[in-house]
Amino acid sequence: MPNASTSVTPMTSRTGFTLLSLAAVVLVGLNLRAGITSASALFHDLQLFLGYGPLIAALLPSIPTLVFAVAGAGTAWIARRIGLAGTIMLALSVLAVGLGFRAIPTTWALLAGTVAAMCGIALCNVAMPSFIRQHFAEKTSMMTGVYTVTMSVGATAASSLSVPLALAAGSPTLGLATWGFLALAGALAFVPFLMMARADKTKAAATETTTGKGINPFALLRTGRGLVITGLFSVQSLMAYAIMSWLPSVLISRSMSPADAGVILGVLQLVSIPATMLSLWMVNKRNMLRGAIMMCSISVGLGLAGLLVLPLGLAWLCAVAMGIGFSIFPLVLLIISQSGDTAEETTAMSTLAQSVGYLVATSGPFGMGLLYAASESWTLPILLLIGVACIQLCLGIAASSYRKNAPRRSAA
């Protein structure tokens, strides 16, 4: 009997732990964009409900990237003190509290809750790749794909359901707060990992070695590789957050209902799921990283142009094109993960790209909001985003040669 028990228990335990790890990855992925896109569909209603002016309207969608740049840089410091599992659980708890705080029907509560929620997301942005490497060492690519897809699923659900939830709750602020329950579920999923991490000091010590504290990330800005990869992360983030923040407002300004505008944003996020699978297939099976980047950059440019020239009834076509463009995000993560000669260098590159990139990306949603307030038209902001898509194309072509297994090209 003891022998039978010892032969079965480890396998059962291992399977259960794998399923628990998978559930944790999925729950985090579902949360990382829901707190952003749920607000995007309600910006118009929030301004009418709370009565804030154009400056707050421009600032609100800029908070995520600004907080990501600042709070994300502190993730390694927090992880060294409370461990990786503790950091992610703390992040999801802060996210839940921040989202719940937005239920208070005042402008200051909306801003404060958004800052707190984005701090939680920022910590997860940096910590989750290490969590995936730690628990899925031999399936990192597959789990990165799962993680990315669930982010899109969460974004799709939040943008599509945000307005109906607000209507059911009786106010846009209460509608926003309901997404805090999803973050709370994610935090609870990490309780077992926190308990195991406290019992296993070896894992905690191993986590500390992944922080890359021996390398100064900002020193990489003196290299061509660091500049190009950071530039690419910056422009794709600027593009993504500008579109996620203001696409519903662009459509509402053309007489589309807020609910339908939220659905169009949901279509964009939904299309990004199979588009991500296609992009990763092009890279992994056909070694077409450069072709995939070109497809994404050209598609998002065409989608933006369609907002200017196509009738409102064809807005879904623009959403499809931009959804294909959004699949560049996992490609950028792939370039970063394969750009370093050591794990420490890769971690430093990731820290640099996210800290600088999100800071630069803040100019996207904030700049679009100010330009619209000044010109009372979305034409100039959209034209500038098309220009950003062209820059993304050029940087993406250059960055594609920095892949570890890709042929290197000599600098001009």
Q: Is the pLDDT of residue 204 over 50?
A: no
Q: Report whether 110 contacts 173 (CB < 8 A).
A: yes
Least confident of 130-139, 262-271, 278-287: 130-139
Q: Report whether 349 contacts 336 (CB < 8 A).
A: yes
Look up residue 264 and give its two tokens: 């169009």
| Confidence band, pLDDT 50/70/90 cuts, at residue 313 | very high
Q: Please state the rounded mean pLDDT for residues 85-91.
A: 91
Query: Which residue, 323, 362, 293, is CA-closest to 72?
Result: 362
The pLDDT of residue 391: 98
What's the DSSP call for residue 41?
T
Q: Please state the rounded mean pLDDT for residues 231-237.
A: 96
The CA-CA-CA angle for residues 115, 120, 126, to 5°, reads 120
The pLDDT of residue 412: 36
Kindly list the distances between the CA atom of residue 95 and the CA atoms of 23, 180, 408, in Å, as whole numbers in the listed order.
18, 7, 41
Look up residue 143 and give its two tokens: 């789990």
Q: Please state the rounded mean pLDDT for residues 292-305.
A: 97
**Exposure letters 140-169 (e unless 16+ CB within 10 A, then b):** ebebbbbbbbbbbbbbbbbbbbbbebbeee
The pLDDT of residue 343: 54
Longest CA–CA span in the chain (Å) reads: 79
**Which residue reads 């022998």 in tokens?**
3
Each residue of 112-156: pLDDT tens digit? Answer: 999 999 999 998 887 887 787 777 767 766 777 788 889 989 988
Q: Please state the rounded mean pLDDT for residues 321-342.
A: 84
The CA-CA-CA angle for residues 225, 230, 234, to 5°, reads 150
Look up residue 34 and give its two tokens: 């829901």
CB neighbours of residue 65 within 10 Å: 28
What's the DSSP call for residue 257?
-
| 384 burial level (CB within 10 Å; 0-12, 13-18, 19+) | middle
Each residue of 353-406: pLDDT tens digit? Answer: 888 999 999 999 999 999 999 998 999 999 999 999 999 999 999 998 876 544
Query: Which residue, 216, 192, 156, 141, is CA-closest to 29?
Result: 156
The pLDDT of residue 355: 85
Q: Is the pLDDT of residue 234 over 50?
A: yes
Between residues 223 and 349, the one the model is more confident about: 223
Q: Which residues contact 10 (CB under 8 A, 6 or more apart)?
A: none
The pLDDT of residue 340: 65
The pLDDT of residue 12: 55
Report how far residue 146's alpha carbon sits from residue 110's, in angstroms, rounded to the nearest whole number: 31
Between residues 314 and 340, the one the model is more confident about: 314
Q: What percent of the chain has pLDDT over 90?
A: 50
CB neighbours of residue 53 within 10 Å: 10
HSE at residue 258, side-chain half, CA atoms within 13 A, is 19
Q: Is the pLDDT of residue 11 over 60?
A: no
Query: Which residue, 326, 26, 277, is CA-closest to 141?
Result: 277
Residue-averaged pLDDT of the chain:
85
Q: Report whether 43 contacts 57 (CB < 8 A).
A: yes
Q: Is the pLDDT of residue 196 over 60?
A: yes
Look up residue 225 and give its two tokens: 């590789």
